[in-house]
Amino acid sequence: MVDKQPTDGVEPAAAAGMQGAVCPVPLQHEDQVVLGHGSGGKLTQKLIARYFYPPFENPYLLQGDDSAVMDWPQGGRLAFSTDSHIVSPLFFPGGDIGRLAVAGTVNDLLMVGAQPLWLTAGFLLEEGLPLSVVERVAASMRAAADESGIQIVAGDTKVIQRGKADGLFVNTSGVGIVPEGREINGRRAQVGDAVLLSGTLGDHGIAVLAARGELDFEAQVVSDVAPLTKLVEAMHAVGADLHVLRDPTRGGLATTLNEIAHQSNFGIEIDEITLPVNPAVEAACEMLGFDPLYVANEGKLVAIAPEAQAEALLNAMRSTELGKAACRIGRVTSKPAGRVLMRTGIGARRVVDVLSGELLPRIC
């Protein structure tokens, strides 16, 4: 048996060494891409850390936030983000791929405190796609852009041979300006900070899954996909010192909180009974064996701020349509560093880990 690798077990030599010694069948998934690499969980993180960080390495990339924030040579700071969107079906209760594509990038900019300004849109269209679909998606993107106060200023179009794509893929990239004095990122979480959540968990993931129709279940669930501009503006208006903002998309709240715990090197403790979940989402999760903590959201945010400002922030959040179910879900603790703990409904405690492989058939 080779020496134990203390890190994360990705080293093939370590696993190969275990093969005869402890357990029979290691499986690496290191030779090809599997769907789990797109889940937003650990496999995604490893893919990025191993294949993208080394060749691209620079300080902005390694910030690891939803957008990169760069000093602009003429002064001020620029936020820049990109996001590709694939979702089946293209239209689902509460939204469509166009709204998702605009909201995704706008929200990533908002989560570093930026004021979003301009987006680009790249379209990959499958041969045979009805142009009426293109028209609907574009109209939906325009509506979402108006809602966010941004413009789509450049674009690109490519067509893929029939059968080689799933209808329509959209990439959006966006820039925004981070106002003077605003510093919002995962490293700023402080011990004692309050952890706030803007609303219910899992609506988007379950809505898309139900709309797909493969799993014989019907749920009256509407996706929460929305640009969070008005909610975030209301929070800034309070004048609070927001330490962290993050939208819990792929991988769900559990993955997002783990990212923050990891970046800040503090612990986060949440209280299970405070977590808001729509009854229909909860029922679907119970039936399908999913945990709402890991199901995607597209119109929610987590905020971390000093305890003294938590009430004012909650009031501001609740005054907006998107934040009316906002609540306090936990706090930042000194230990265990880098981990998320949850006080369970019956009063015990457990670790909440990152999503490990593929939770759902890929949803966005």
Partner 1 sequence: MKYVTEYRDADKVGRVLDDIRATVTKPWVLMEICGGQTHAIVRHGIDQLLPSEIELVHGPGCPVCVTPLELIDKALAIASMPNVIFTSYGDMLRVPGSGQDLFSVRAQGADVRTVYSPLDAVKIAQQNPDKQVVFFAIGFETTAPANAMSVVQAKALGLTNYSILVSHVRVPPAMHAILGSPQNRVQGFLAAGHVCAVMGYWEYPPIAERYRVPIVVTGFEPLDIVLGIRDTVRLLEAGDVKVGNAYARAVTFEGNRPGQAVIDKVFASCDRKWRGVGMIPQSGWCLRPEFADFDAENRFQVAHIQPEESPLCIAGQILQGLKRPVDCPAFGTECTPEHPLGATMVSSEGACAAYYQYGRFADAVPEHAAGDPAAS
Give whichever of 17 and 155 is closer to partner 1, judged by the CB atom: 17
Q: Tell me if residue 72 falls in helix, strand or coil.
A: coil
CA 178, 101, 35, 214 dihedral sign is: positive
Q: Tell me if residue 82 falls in helix, strand or coil.
A: strand
Among 269, 298, 323, 329, the residue binding partner 1 under the rule CB under 8 A is 269
Restricting to residues 185-244, name those near partner 1 by CB under 8 A.
215-217
Restricting to residues 32-71, name those near partner 1 by CB under 8 A.
32-36, 42-43, 46
Q: How far is the CB of 357 from partner 1 (least distance, A)?
A: 6
For the chain, count helices (H), then strands (E). Answer: 10, 14
Q: Name, in order, each residue with C-beta under 8 angstroms of 1's C-beta and a sequence gap of 6 or more.
A: 17, 18, 20, 21
Among 282, 306, 319, 325, the residue binding partner 1 under the rule CB under 8 A is 282
Give whichever of 34 and 139 is closer to partner 1, judged by the CB atom: 34
| Cβ proximity of 192 and 307 under 8 Å | yes
Q: What are the φ/ψ torsions at residue 106 (nearest 5 degrees)? A: -60, -45
Integer Rg of the chain from CA: 21
Q: Tell me if residue 176 falls in helix, strand or coil.
A: strand
Give whichever of 66 and 203 is closer to partner 1, judged by the CB atom: 203
| Residue 131 engages partner 1 in binding (rule: CB under 8 A) | no
Restricting to residues 305-364, name those near partner 1 by CB under 8 A.
331, 333, 335-336, 339, 341, 343-353, 356-358, 361
What tokens appear for 11 in the block?
A: 């080293």
Among 190, 271, 306, 327, the residue binding partner 1 under the rule CB under 8 A is 271
Give whichever of 18 and 222 is closer to partner 1, judged by the CB atom: 18
| Residue 8 engages partner 1 in binding (rule: CB under 8 A) | yes
Residue 163 per-residue DSSP state: T
Q: How far is the CB of 26 from partner 1 (least distance, A)?
A: 5
Q: Name, in order, each residue with C-beta under 8 angstroms of 92's C-beta and a sequence gap of 6 or more.
A: 207, 208, 211, 223
Among 163, 289, 301, 364, the residue binding partner 1 under the rule CB under 8 A is 289
Q: Residue 269's beta-bridge partner residues?
A: 331, 341
Binding region for partner 1 (CB under 8 A): 4-6, 8-10, 14-15, 17-20, 22-29, 32-36, 42-43, 46, 215-217, 267, 269, 271, 273, 279, 282-283, 286, 288-289, 331, 333, 335-336, 339, 341, 343-353, 356-358, 361
